[in-house]
Chains A and B, each alone.
Chain A
């Protein structure tokens, strides 16, 4: 085989292993899910082709709409807060003003290594309305204890857990980006007489924009797909976290509790569409702002 021919074949060959697995483990199940969403498998009557009936039902399903609304709200509140914190932490670490920087950086990152099962266990205990430490402390101080597991607080409590888990991870991404800003930029800024805040604003933030965009995109996807934390807290707050609390949880409950696998596939597809729209919306907004 000639070298040129070999080279032309090399590209496909290098990507082949990844793409083959991708096809088998992703596209195939996805296609099967699409197929499933066009049927209904009933306890009485078996498998029935229903065309787009599942989709019409889903679009008018109040439980689904509430679930999507809730994760949208979660996204709007939790993500900016978390990214802001990550940004502040990254800037603080990069500023050179901190003692014990290494310890702090590592400590903030450690929650990322904790599986959500354990995180839910720990925070579930801390949130306990009677015997959790916060409640006991409030009781001792004579203050009314906030019920973290109640209807009004639950979304915030979940947001807290997710923030706790992922701030460090986002912080590291931003910090790594900061570390690559070339020395020359700082020297130029210093020659212009810029102080620390000015440097942060004019030198660091612009360099961070792509990294921020990346973390934002991850967060869009992660928050709309919210599942682990509400699923694990369901045990201790079953009357607040319903089976359709988030859209993803709804799909899961439909499939595994209600044995409505087909409808679950439909819900998942619709959720996927929502995520795609949200992601593109974010991308478009970001790109539009960047071009002057």
Chain B
């Protein structure tokens, strides 16, 4: 018989209090036995929620809050609300990327104000699974969606114990957009290897000192990570609950550091921060002959560099090894459910519907011009057949769709992405901007991250 000493009062225990206390205690005992505590991650067996319960939940009037920065997402949300009229979605734009993650973390820490569903980019997922903030979607039928999505995206949203933390929404396989007119003017062939790229950079800048082959932004850690990804690096690896391997200055990284640092030092590439006024102006005025970007780049460029319409073309990234073409990913988001939501079933169904329902997924491609994460759309004739005039009628989507299949599936992100990003900008990024030794900067980045991880209680295995 449980000990009621703490709950007992001088007056006789009422029957109701007795029952409720027993109930609470036994429930607590059951939960502990199941191992559903905090630092444990998922429970041993993800028991599926019964379909009947799901149906019932979807018919109960509910209001869910969804944090997302996707513009005009009301259209896709409307599709969901049409199918499940009892569930209303409140869309809030709490910031784009890092600012939203900061707000989310603060809200989670405070215990109130967090939404039910949230847009999370692939690279940010481990940052929220380490704090156990996301809901495992397996019990809600998410496993069935595996074949709908491109393999490497599924790898990105899966946890170490097989959990499914989020549903992919869009992707950003990396490629290269180039100015055909500038290439033609200076007799430059489209580079297919990085060596050719370096030679082209030197040739172009010598011929025209006002033009650079490309700009590797000294503040864009995402591009760097994407290039590491392409080169087959594995800078971060988590195992177990608290082991992490950090190897941001391993052989592959150093190869990249020497390559890009060298080009920056020679002064044949630009290194200014991207997405600033100055950078937009530069693109419009033809200061950069290529833009190493992702699959969302073409649409973005056509909206931001209207002065250069018709002059751009798309191509895959130059390769380190032409026998095994590969690429990385830059950007793209998923929809995840916050663990503390009061309506897990409805939220999980929403996350799945939003991104896997064919009509909704297609809308992301046609309305917001996102690059799809579903296999179906990547082979959809209408999508890949699109031939925008900004790119001289080239089937740009087809180029990136082909690239998408070369993105390798085993790249992992650290559980403290924002810190990694800031440290990169202050070490490696700064070395690019200041034309100093990038390989040494990589060492600084490594030591900063290692110190940080250790301070945060991880067991760090260096690379």
A and B pair up:
yes
A236 in contact with B429 (CB, 8 Å)? no
Q: How far is the CB of A140 from chain B (nearest CB, A)?
A: 15
User: Are B457 and A258 neighbours in the complex by a CB distance under 8 Å?
Assistant: no
- Pairwise interchain contact B276-A256, C-beta atoms closer than 8 A: no
Known A253-B422, A258-B418; judge A237-B278 contact (CB<8 A): no
Residues 122 to 178 of chain B near chain A (Cβ within 8 Å): 130-131
Closest to B278 in A: A128
A44 interfacial contact with B, CB 8 Å = yes
Shortest 4 CB-CB contacts between residues of A and residues of B: A44-B457, A238-B219, A42-B457, A45-B457
B419 at the A interface (CB under 8 A): yes
Q: Which residue of A lies closest to B426 (CB)?
A: A242
Q: Is the CB of A236 within 8 A of B276?
A: yes
- Whether a CB of chain A sits under 8 angstroms from the CB of B347 is no
- Are the CB atoms of B273 and A259 closer together than 8 Å? no
A261 CB contacts on chain B under 8 angstroms: 109
| Chain A residues near B131 (CB-CB < 8 A) | 43
| Contacting residues, chain B, for A125 (C-beta < 8 A) | 277
Listed A/B pairs (19) with beta-carbon separation below 8 Å: A40-B455, A43-B131, A43-B456, A44-B39, A44-B458, A124-B277, A125-B277, A128-B277, A128-B278, A129-B278, A130-B281, A131-B278, A238-B429, A239-B273, A239-B425, A242-B430, A253-B422, A256-B106, A260-B455
Q: Is B452 in contact with chain A by the CB < 8 A criterion?
A: yes
Among B241, B425, B430, which residue has its beta carbon within 8 angstroms of that of A44?
B241
> Which A11-50 residues sit within 8 Å CB-CB of chain B?
40, 42-46
Q: Distance in Å from the Cβ of A50 to the closest Cβ of chain B? A: 11
- Are B429 and A239 in contact, CB atoms less than 8 angstroms apart? yes
Cβ-defined contact, A257 with B422, below 8 A: yes
Residue in chain B with minimal CB distance to A237: B273
Chain B residues within 8 Å of chain A by Cβ, number:
36
Chain B CB within 8 A of A289 CB? no
Per-position binary interface string of chain A over residues 140-151, scored 1 when its CB falls under 8 Å from any chain B CB and 0 otherwise: 000000000001
Question: Is the contact region of chain A dominated by helix, strand, or loop, or is it mixed?
Answer: loop
- Please name all residues of chain B whose beta carbon is closer than 8 Å to the beta carbon of A44 when the two chains form the complex: 39, 130, 241-242, 456-458
Distance, CA A146 to CA B4, complexed state (A): 77
B105 on the interface (CB 8 Å rule)? yes
B332 at the A interface (CB under 8 A)? no
Contact B430–A239 (Cβ < 8 Å) = yes
List residues of A (44-92) whose CB comes within 8 Å of B's CBs.
44-46
- CB neighbours (8 Å) of B77 from chain A are none
Interface residue count on the A side (C-beta < 8 Å): 29
- A-facing residues in B254-290 (Cβ within 8 Å): 273, 276-278, 281-282, 287
**Contact call B276/A43, Cβ cutoff below 8 A:** no
When chains A and B are docked, how far (Å) is the Cα of A260 from the Cα of B422? 14
The answer to whether B273 and A236 touch across the interface, beta carbons within 8 angstroms, is yes
Q: A42-B457, A238-B425 are in contact. Are A259 and B277 (CB under 8 A)?
A: no
A113-152, CB under 8 A of B: which get 1 and which 0? 0000000000011001111100000000000000000010
* B458 adjacent to A257 (CB under 8 Å): no
Closest B residue, CB atoms, query A236? B276
In the complex, A170 has a CB within 8 A of chain B: no
Contacts of A46 in B (CB 8 A): 39
Contact between chains at B416 and A43 (CB < 8 Å): yes
Q: How far is the CA of A261 from the CA of B106 in the complex (A)?
A: 10
Which of B131, B281, B457 counts the most chain A CB atoms within 10 A?
B457
Q: Does B102 contact A (CB under 8 A)?
A: yes
Q: Are A238 and B273 in contact (CB under 8 A)?
A: yes
Q: How far is the CB of A117 from chain B (nearest CB, A)?
A: 14
Q: Say yes or no: is A99 at the interface (Cβ < 8 Å to chain B).
A: no
Contacts of A40 in B (CB 8 A): 455
